[in-house]
Structure 1
């Protein structure tokens, strides 16, 4: 676990206005556990700045959460639930239960799992009735190439129309200028360009010694990976469908 630094709505908006972000999806951070009060407050604050309905959130819940509490999260702008295995917040075994709880609400599951656990996801995927968003390129060992078995498992998962990819890759790259991400992202776009989204990952916590990325550079990097049509899909059309904008 880590101690979160100061990351205010005002600081985020300075970055967002610089790079041209007009809609926001906030993901509940590991230090908060299943306490979603901060993320709900941030959605209200972003809506006040950007306009009503321009912010969404991805929360963290316990499998035994009440129906009333789930409805309150949805009404507060939550559109997905995060399974966070990397920092030990949520076990992968909770995936089927959480998916079944949120399916009636039209939500999705966002997975931050270890690369070797993608095979476990593949085993339970047939029983899941919600979209599954795989974050951080599935924690595949990107420097080892697209033929690595873990990355190939990711591609096979993406052949299912329920599975999405978030093209946030700097954490699994060997480092700047992140050139080792070009071939993996191209392979993902080839399979699922209509099911890819992107995020800054701001304020970039839990870097574990990796260099602090520049959000404008990351957005430019995305543009270098995509055709103009793919760039618009990843930044505008796909997130509108997934997050309900």
Structure 2
């Protein structure tokens, strides 16, 4: 087993192998994302009861909370991939890290926008320099910084290494985002969904939230596979396996 895992990882990190692997799984991931998304929206917007304090305004959580979780999750993936890219110089790790950044930035932007829409009726303001909101905004700036630094270099691999270093520095902000409501006085409510122990949310509201979380996870996988495949073709242009793909497409 100890020998099988490195061999498996080594084979998967090969650009042509990953290209085929991602191409096979991407349609399934997108289909599951749509399926769980539809189920979650129906459960959250139609079946779930109104909140006794917030009324129907709380329903924005079915978008806001999963996107907030994904903003941190994607940065975690980007950070791990960046570490692998810097230490072992694996091209696929660079691709995964750099192509995760725009997706994570989109999730973070949606989190901030939906949070503002939710905050107006709940707090009476669109924005406040709350610890959770501010650290989430910093997370967006980190994503944008990684994207900008990556594209600032003519040599894409050199740009990826520079951006990976920035991503690693910024990883410290992820636990700050997560634990900010516990470390500081904040208007933002604490965690209501717990992995260990009972969650502080009714099951009728919890299951659509979890379904939407699965939808965002599958969407991330599908989107990452699509972006990574496109990027690999650009990076590996001129290689035999890329020419073979071009020839196969021309015959169709």
Q: TM-score, structure 2 length as denominator?
A: 0.25
Q: Could you say which structure has the larger radius of gyration?
A: 2
Q: Which has the higher helix share?
A: 2
- By relative contact order (CA 8 Å, sep 6+), the higher-ranking structure is 2
Q: Which has the higher strand share?
A: 1
